[in-house]
A and B are shown apart, each in its own frame.
Chain A
Amino acid sequence: MTKEYHEIDDIIVIHYKYSFGGQSRFFIELKNNKQIMGTKCPKCKTVYCPPRIACAKCYETTEWIPLKDTGEIKVSTLVWYSTSAFIQNIPYAVGYIQLDGASTAINQGIFSDNLVPSKVKPGKRVRAVFKKEREGKITDFFFVPIDEYDDWIQKPEFEGGKNG
């Protein structure tokens, strides 16, 4: 006997006007000044990027500091199958990048004109490239291998930062 069932199409949508709260300064500096910011714990000296306004180890209020836009890949992967929100972007690389001067690593896209595992492997130096049209979101910038940087900032939709 064939089992009986009835299906419908359905969708859930919620609209937000979402505030980044204490982390807002990161996104304001990113949008207005192409400046990547971190926060430093005055006690243990940990430099957080992504920033946090209070240290989880010391329970101290952290201080905002500008970071360089160069850093090192700690680990990465190349994605060849993805969620419905990203499947049109494959293949793409994501990884954790420790910016020069930061103690932690930030998750970010790594772009390359020749996307192979060796281009995005741990230890590789990368530099941030910024979108010209920025909205104050994490996707306003991405990283590229340092030897591709000059090519990427020549592309019409992108530009370099101030602090290299």
Chain B
Amino acid sequence: MSWTMHGIGNEYMTRRVAIIGFGMTPFKARWPDKTYFELAYDACNEALQDAGITIKDVDSAVYGIYNDLFERQFMPDIYVNDYIGNIDKPGTRVTTGGATGGFTVRTGYAEVASGLADICLVLGVEKCNDCYDKQTGTTTPEVLKAIAYSADMTWEFPLGMLAASSYVVLVNAHFNKYGNPTEEQMAKVSIKNHGNAFNNPKAQAPMKLTIEDVLNSRIICYPFKMLDCCLYSEASAALILASEEKVKELKAENPVWITGVGAACTDAFIGNRKSIGALPSNIAAAKQAYKMAGLDYKNIKKELDVAELHDAFTGQEVISYEELGFVEYGKGGAWIDDGGPEMHGELPVNPSGGLIGCGHAVGATGIMSTGEAYLQLTERAGKRQVPITKGRAISHSIGGPGAAYSAVIVLER
């Protein structure tokens, strides 16, 4: 068995872990003809085929499913495990809000790195639009209510907090300190990500937009407009992780190594934070992941070919440019003005369309983002393929009350 010194500060003996397969369903507003476990089956099947294995070859599974109220089912993971036929083997659920996907990849990594599994299935799925608000005859207000139950039920939920309002206070506090992101700069992120989605056949929201379109779209939470926000999606995404020995044994054609994993949770109560306009969890997760991968936080932009960031809201993507080390604090707005994160810019951000363009099927999202980075590094991203010269990419997830969870994954081919 090949064991390599590989870990934070090289303190731990861990095994190298590769992604050897990826599958995902299209991201759609609603899949009325599929349940959550049927969607999970489809993504699982595609990932198994991509890796050239069957469910019998899987030693363990990790399931990313955020919200029991969305699924209308507590412990939905056991029904996914049942439906995909992962019988008499461990399946474990991870649920960390919008960051569920990233934390699920992290847990899957640990299963293989530790030697608990040689092949691990990392499977994320979410429905949401079975939630239905009778008073408006639409789904979204009830979807938002199902999410709002993640806010503290004593101190925050009764006041009408919602996902957009918890992100927008971060963005507003950042704006108050640094004068950016401006509404125009946030609009540019929306234009970029909706535009990138045209090249992703599985994306929910390809749109050709102007700054005026975004600025004139319906106000949601000052200053976020509708086109600053991602849409809620239903989808599933799956990755197959394998040990180095299994990569050799299976003669895997496209292994991409997970070389860095970082995660952190900051104060869930925004009012307890030293600085409201920042997510220290983003910085901690990024520094942890880069250090593990042997990369320099201050020079990270030059080390990467592509980044898939968590753009649930445009303003948050801009702050993440800073917190993930692409630009100095306060310079995120200027970087989008300069075209840095555009497809042909200095470091393309969200060629998949991200959450805004591809969609946000919460438990599946971070797995989709990591899968997109995997497709890019194996040069199978079709029309949205970016040039791969450094052989390295990252995916990033944020979530939870006050966006308290953050995860960063570094991939290398």
Which A residues are within 8 Å of any B CB, using their own CB?
Answer: 3-5, 7, 9-10, 12, 20, 23, 48, 50, 74-89, 92, 94-96, 98, 104-109, 117, 122, 137-139
Question: CA A1 – CA B188 in complex, angstroms?
Answer: 39
The A/B interface has a contact count, at CB < 8 Å, of: 124
Residues A82 and B160 in contact, CB atoms below 8 Å apart: yes
Q: Are A85 and B270 in contact (CB under 8 A)?
A: no
Chain B 158-180 near chain A by CB (<8 Å), digits 1 or 0 = 11111011001100110010000
Give the docked Cα–Cα distance between A50 and B144 (Å): 24
Within 8 A of A (CB), among B256-279: 269-272, 276-277
CB-defined A-B contacts under 8 Å, sample of 26: A7-B32, A9-B132, A12-B72, A48-B272, A74-B173, A75-B277, A76-B169, A76-B172, A79-B160, A81-B164, A83-B144, A83-B147, A84-B135, A85-B160, A87-B135, A87-B141, A88-B135, A94-B159, A94-B161, A94-B165, A96-B169, A96-B270, A104-B272, A105-B271, A105-B276, A107-B156
A23 cross-chain contacts in B, Cβ below 8 A: 154
A9 and B132 CA atoms in complex are apart in Å by 9
The range of chain B's interface size is 35 or more
Complex contact B155–A50 (CB within 8 A) = yes
The 7 closest A-B pairs by CB, nearest first: A105-B271, A84-B141, A83-B145, A86-B160, A3-B33, A83-B144, A78-B222
Minimum Cβ distance to chain A for residue B29 (Å): 15
B218 at interface, CB cutoff 8 A: yes
Query: How far is B217's CA from A80's CA once the two chains are assembled, in angstroms?
Result: 12
Seed contacts A81-B226, A105-B271, A109-B159; 12 additional CB < 8 Å A-B pairs: A5-B32, A80-B222, A81-B219, A83-B162, A84-B136, A84-B144, A87-B135, A94-B160, A95-B169, A107-B271, A117-B222, A138-B154
Whose C-beta in chain A lies nearest to the C-beta of B145?
Answer: A83
Q: Cβ of B277: which chain A residues have Cβ within 8 Å of it?
A: 75
Look across to chain A and name the residue whose beta carbon is closest to the beta carbon of B222.
Answer: A78
Interface string of B1-32 (1 = CB under 8 A from A): 00000000000000000000000000000001
Closest chain B CB from A128 CB (angstroms): 14
What residues on A are CB-neighbors of B226 within 8 Å? 81
| Residue numbers in B under 8 Å from A75 (CB-CB) | 169, 172-173, 176, 276-277
The answer to whether B33 touches A92, judged by C-beta atoms less than 8 angstroms apart, is: no
Are the C-beta atoms of B145 and A85 separated by less than 8 Å?
yes
Q: Which residues of chain A are near B156, meaning CB under 8 Å?
A: 107
B158–A96 contact, CB under 8 A? no
Q: How far is the CA of A21 from the CA of B160 in the complex (A)?
A: 23
Q: Do B32 and A83 have beta carbons less than 8 Å apart?
A: no
Q: Check if B220 is an interface residue, CB within 8 A of chain A.
A: yes
